[in-house]
Amino acid sequence: MEKCEVHFWDDVGVPEEERQTLPHTKGTSAVCFILTSTIVIHTLDILGAVYVNIFSCKSFDPEVAAEFTSKRFKAASCKKTFIERTL
């Protein structure tokens, strides 16, 4: 997989009165475009949760992806769902 571009959205630089304060909205979102694929991340700071969606046209081992993601975010637990696309 070849990384192409990354975009982040969060409250950095946003006036305090406009910042997100609800548990299900306060955090960072990011999209990493990869050649023919994407990785989307949503963090929920107050809840201590991270949601990661990996879409790829290229085959990959979902167990390796889950393990890497768990280690990267120092997860105490990990729930994963793998949906295999058929042609």
Q: What pLDDT shows up at residue 1?
A: 65
Structure tokens at 49: 């949760």
Using the predicted structure, report yes or no on whether residue 2 has a pLDDT greater than 80: no
Residue spans per domain, the chain:
3-72
Structure tokens at 37: 């694929």
The per-residue pLDDT for range 8-33, each reduced to its tens digit, is 999 888 999 999 998 988 999 999 99
Q: What pLDDT shows up at residue 49?
A: 92
The per-residue pLDDT for range 39-73, each reduced to its tens digit, is 999 999 899 999 999 998 888 899 999 999 999 98
Give the three-class secondary structure for 6: strand
Residues 6+ apart with CB under 8 A from 62: 80, 82
The dihedrals phi and psi of 74, each to the nearest 5 degrees, come to 50, 50
Residue type, 14: V
